[in-house]
Amino acid sequence: MKFYITTAIDYANNSPHIGHALEKIQADVLARYHRNRKEKVFFLTGTDEHGTKNLRAAQSLKMDTQNFVDKIAEDFKSLKKLLNLSWDKFIRTTDRENHWHGVFKLWRALKQNGDIYKRSYQGLYCVGCEAFLTEKDLVNGKCPDHLKEPEIIEEENYFFRLSEYGNRIKEKILNDEIKIVPAGRKHEILSLINGGLEDISVSRSRERAPWGIPVPDDDTQTIYVWIDALPNYLTGIGFGRDNKESREQFHEFWPVDVHLIGKDILKFHALIWPAILMSIELPLPKSIYTHGWITVNGQKMSKTIGNVISPGDLAVKYGTDAVRYYLLREIPSTEDGDFSEEKFKERYNGELANGLGNFTARVLTLASKNYPEILATEIDNPEENLWQKIKETEKNIDKKINEFKLHEALIAIWDLIRFGDIYVNDAKPWENPQNKKREIANLVCILKNIAKFISPFLPQVSDIILSNIKKSGNVYKISKGENIFPRI
């Protein structure tokens, strides 16, 4: 039983914002969920550090490019602690030892198979996208994502025979051998295939693109992103490293179970990447999950507008699990969503402070005051209707997580919290606690299971709650603990 999940590797041209945080947190939930199921998990993330965009960002600051991407990579790495992320490896495309060898191995295999060839080409190149565009991609002559006119580039490059793989990819997607979530994205990819696939450029002239991995046996060319960045999913688990440990790790975890990416790079992962893997006869990714974008107060995040939100600043101000909760609950997992500090505070006070925080405080206060020690059999065997509700909640959470509807999984958990609130209000154990041990034990059971269910989403809070319901032999020892979500 293994589970291999990857995020996109982020361009190292700027510090992370809450859009980057959303993807990493979503992936972290899935990784933690599968670890809780006793599966062997590998969670990979990292930074894409080559390319014109990163080079120009460094030049604009008059910095050495390697020093510049080193700094940005550290900014992204800092999210691990700030957001309590549990990735197993952070891959960097400038890492010669762990990445470059695999890229060279892949390039040579593709070329040996006849799927890489060289020819002259002229096209419209968007630096922001790090991609060539066609006229039909443009809106009023500009890239629709970056609102800039593309540059006209003419040079001799290496190309990959993507056109040869359209029908095979289509079959895999139609049969859900490559499962694309949500289904609407699947139809987008099938439409692109039906429109015909063209071969793609996989190198740039070294003169125009000096910052990158050189093409093997041709120092006039630099390997382009498709054969530089996408193979991180291979190199991150050992591909290209000639030692026993790396080979065993690669064979243990490949293929990918989930590629978790933004909707803007779906076609690269659902078309180009499978074709590359088909060429070298490696198993294909099992699924590709796509999330949307985050706006801020209804506007696209922009340095010009000044509305870019730092996830680290939010976590320091409001707490890590509060940030995780907002992004997971407010933003539908596969759709666009909006951030505002006002909505953040509303969810915090209404659902964290008044919801989970209040229920936790009520239960632990009642139990620690009246029955600080309760037999495990009394807590682990609640009344039948309570146990049915707990099991129904668990089943619903499993279903929603496996459908990549993390926001709906949280709704199911908060429904159990409301159920607990109703139970405690009806039972009124504070009125006659010496005769309400059964009811208090039931409440501790509900809270213990809530803590278990939230552990992939809010791991710190889960640990805090469970630390106040400690099992010692055949007894649970219950303490009041701290206020986990004070109102703001």
Say how far apart CA 414 and CA 173 lie, in whole Å.
35
State the total domains in the chain: 1
Q: CA 270 to CA 106: how far, in whole Å?
A: 18
| pLDDT tens-place string over residues 177-190 | 999 999 999 999 99
25 and 327 Cβ atoms separated by less than 8 Å: yes
Q: Is residue 47 part of a domain?
A: no
pLDDT of residue 306: 83
Position 130 pLDDT exceeds 80: no
Lowest-pLDDT range, 208-222, 243-257, 303-317, 437-451? 303-317
Which pLDDT score, from 0 to 100, does residue 377 have? 96
- Within-domain flag for 50: no
| Residues pairing with 215 in the sheet | 218
In this structure, is residue 385 part of a structural domain? yes
In a domain, 1, yes or no: no
Find the mean pLDDT for residues 442-468: 98
- Half-sphere exposure of 334 toward its Cβ, with a 13 Å CA cutoff? 18
- Res. 428: pLDDT tops 90: yes
d(C-alpha 296, C-alpha 412), whole Å: 27
Contact 213, 203 (CB under 8 A): no
In a domain, 179, yes or no: no
- Across the range 207-220, mean pLDDT stands at 94
Residue 125 has pLDDT above 90, yes or no: no
CA nearest neighbour of 349 among 453, 226, 486, 443: 486
Supply the mean pLDDT for the chain. Answer: 95
3-state secondary structure string across 130-185: CEEECHHHCECCECCCCCCCCEEEEEEEEEECHHHHHHHHHHHHHCCCCEEECHHH
Residues comprising the chain, all counted: 488
pTM across the whole model: 0.94
Domain presence at residue 58: no
Q: Say whether pLDDT at 131 is over 80.
A: no
Mean pLDDT over 325-329 rounds to 98
* pLDDT > 80? residue 440: yes
pLDDT classification of 136: cutoffs 50, 70, 90: confident
Q: What pLDDT score was predicted for residue 318?
A: 96
pLDDT of residue 238: 97
| pLDDT tens-digit series, residues 10-48 | 999 999 999 999 999 999 999 999 999 999 999 999 999
The whole-number pLDDT of residue 266 equals 97
Whether pLDDT at 420 is above 90: yes
**pLDDT over threshold 90, residue 194:** yes
In sequence order, what are the beta bridge partners of 11?
48
What is the CA angle 324-328-329, rounded to 5?
115
487 conformational bin, left if phi > 0, alpha if psi -120 to 50, beta if neither: beta
Give per-residue pLDDT as tens, 95-107: 999 999 999 999 9
**Sheet with 116-126: strands ordered across:** 131-133, 116-126, 151-160, 200-201
pLDDT class of 481 with cuts at 50, 70, 90: confident
Give residue 134's pLDDT. 82
Residue 261 near residue 289, CB atoms below 8 Å? yes
Q: Which residues are catalytic?
A: 17, 20, 126, 129, 143, 146, 300, 303
Residue numbers of the domain that contains 416:
341-478
pLDDT of residue 277: 98
Is the per-residue pLDDT at 400 higher than 80? Answer: yes
Residue 153: per-residue pLDDT: 83
The pLDDT of residue 272:
98
pLDDT (tens digit, 9 = 90+) per residue, 332-349? Answer: 999 999 999 999 999 999
Between 126 and 290, the more confident residue is: 290
Tens digit of pLDDT for each residue in 267-316?
Answer: 999 999 999 999 999 999 999 999 999 999 999 887 778 889 999 999 99
Query: Is residue 310 assigned to a domain?
Result: no
pLDDT-based confidence at 381, cuts 50/70/90? very high
Q: How far is CA 124 from the centre of its chain?
A: 31
Q: Does residue 397 fall inside a structural domain?
A: yes
* Residue 129 vs residue 253, higher pLDDT: 253
Rg, Å, the chain Cα set: 25
pLDDT at 250 over 80: yes
- Range in 138-147, 194-203, 227-236, 460-469 with the lowest mean pLDDT: 138-147
Contact 324, 84 (CB under 8 A): yes
**pLDDT score, position 200:** 93
HEC-encoded secondary structure of the chain = CEEEEEECCEECCCCCCHHHHHHHHHHHHHHHHHHHCCCEEEEEEEEECCCHHHHHHHHHCCCCHHHHHHHHHHHHHCHHHHCCCCCCEEEECCCHHHHHHHHHHHHHHHHHCCCEEEEEEEEEEECCCCEEECHHHCECCECCCCCCCCEEEEEEEEEECHHHHHHHHHHHHHCCCCEEECHHHHHHHHHHHHCCCCCEECEEECCCCCCCCEECCEEEEEECHHHHCCCHHHHCCCCCCCCHHHHHHHHHHCCCCEEEEEHHHHHHHHHHHHHHHHHCCCCCCCEEEEECCEEECCEECCCCCCCCCCHHHHHHHHCHHHHHHHHHHHCCCCCCEEECHHHHHHHHHHHHHHHHHHHHHHHHHHHHHHCCEEEHHHHHCCCHHHHHHHHHHHHHHHHHHHCCCHHHHHHHHHHHHHHHHHHHHHHCCCCCHHHCHHHHHHHHHHHHHHHHHHCCCCHHHHHHHHHCEEEECCEEEECCCCCCCCCC
Q: Could you tell me the two tokens for 43?
A: 């969670």
- pLDDT value at residue 121: 82
Average of per-residue pLDDT across 223-241: 96
Residues ≥6 apart with Cβ < 8 Å to 472: none
Looking up residue 460, the CATH number of its domain turns out to be 1.10.730.10
Mean pLDDT computed over 150-176: 95
Cβ neighbours of 349 (radius 10 Å): 16
Q: Are 89 and 236 in contact (CB under 8 A)?
A: yes
Which of 190, 189, 213, 194 has the alpha carbon at shortest distance from 202? 213
User: Residue 127: pLDDT above 80?
Assistant: no
The residue-averaged pLDDT of 251-262 equals 98
Which percentage of the chain shows pLDDT scores above 70?
Answer: 100
Q: Does 372 sit behind a cis peptide bond, omega within 30 degrees of 0 on the bond before it?
A: no
Give residue 173's pLDDT band: very low, low, confident or very high (50, 70, 90).
very high
What number of other Cβ atoms are within 10 A of residue 194's Cβ? 10
